């Protein structure tokens, strides 16, 4: 297991740094992040990504299903919460009451390393239009399912954590190996069920009426700067252009999408 998965404060700090150095600059290439903007993060964890937006003068709302992670957020972000710059909703995103829980619409919605864990992804992506202000955008960052560690096996305790592509084994064989190694079988099998490819993500977005505002594929994920000390590397144009094959060699993708009906409202 990588140390930062156990040290939640360290993981929080990494999320802040990664968002400040890579996520926000990526967004700002096309969409200036301005003081006073409202930002929603779905699957916010301890709020590290949101903190980077708060530091830019935004107001943030985070939705998180795991109450323990919000308990950590309250420890890490007491001043921002007391000042009303940031608040959290501990709830399944599908059970959120948009009017009561969000108290308004958002300029930016963020899903960072989350969509690959969501059930019924098309439903969520289509529904999010209701959360956006005219001209608003949605940022996604996620690892394609077929990439070397797309099954999140790096979080395992056994030698499985070091085995790339093992999650692509036949379902029953993969389950047997996880059980044999005493790993969290159901959690990892759930990731197998919800993992998403580049092509499936793009099909959903198009079907739900979005346009691609900004796209970047990475051979080496920006977060690897803190995991391994490796600088991010953008995916080679040739690989990026080959459907399906690109999933195996792309460790992370960044997308900004915008509802087609919003384009003329910017």
Q: Total structural domains in the chain?
A: 2
**220 and 132 within one domain:** yes
What is the tens place of the pLDDT at every residue in 143-202?
999 999 999 999 999 999 999 999 999 999 999 999 999 999 999 999 999 999 999 999
Domain carrying residue 189: 151-193
**200 and 188 within one domain:** no
What is the tens place of the pLDDT at every residue in 201-241?
999 999 999 999 999 999 999 999 999 999 999 999 999 99
**91 and 155 within one domain:** no
pTM of the predicted protein model: 0.95
Contact assessment for residue 43 and residue 63, using Cβ atoms and an 8 Å cutoff: yes
What is the tens place of the pLDDT at every residue in 83-117?
999 999 999 999 999 889 999 999 999 999 999 99
pLDDT at site 1? 41
Which CATH number does the domain housing residue 84 bear?
Answer: 3.40.50.150
- Answer whether residue 266 is part of any domain: no
pLDDT at site 30? 96
**136 and 53 within one domain:** yes
CA distance 39 to 54: 9
Confidence of residue 4 (pLDDT cuts 50, 70, 90): low
Number of CB atoms found within 10 A of residue 104's CB:
12
**214 and 87 within one domain:** yes
Q: Does the pLDDT of residue 2 top 50, yes or no?
A: no
């Amino acid at each position: 297991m990588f140390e930062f998965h156990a040290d939640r404060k360290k993981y929080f700090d990494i999320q802040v740094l990664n968002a400040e150095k890579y996520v926000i600059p990526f967004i700002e290439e096309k969409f200036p992040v301005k003081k006073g903007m409202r930002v929603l993060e779905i699957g916010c964890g301890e709020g590290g990504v949101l903190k980077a937006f708060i530091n830019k003068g935004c107001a943030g709302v985070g939705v998180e299903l795991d109450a323990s992670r919000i308990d950590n957020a309250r420890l890490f972000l007491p001043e921002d919460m007391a000042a009303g710059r940031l608040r959290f909703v501990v709830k399944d995103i599908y059970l959120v009451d948009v009017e009561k829980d969000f108290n308004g619409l958002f300029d930016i919605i963020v899903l960072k390393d989350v969509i690959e864990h969501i059930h019924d992804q098309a439903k969520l992506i289509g529904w999010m239009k209701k959360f956006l202000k005219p001209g608003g955008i949605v940022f996604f960052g996620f690892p394609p399912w077929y990439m070397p560690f797309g099954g999140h096996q790096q979080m395992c305790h056994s030698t499985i954590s070091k085995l790339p592509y093992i999650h692509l084994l036949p379902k029953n064989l993969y389950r047997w190996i996880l059980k044999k190694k005493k790993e969290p079988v159901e959690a990892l099998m759930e990731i197998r069920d919800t993992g998403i490819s580049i092509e499936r993500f793009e099909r959903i977005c198009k079907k739900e009426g979005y346009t691609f505002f900004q796209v970047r594929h990475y051979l080496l994920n920006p977060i690897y700067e803190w995991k391994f000390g490796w600088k991010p590397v953008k995916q080679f144009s040739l690989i990026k252009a080959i459907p399906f094959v690109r999933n195996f060699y792309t460790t992370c993708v960044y997308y900004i999408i915008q509802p087609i009906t919003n384009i003329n409202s910017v």
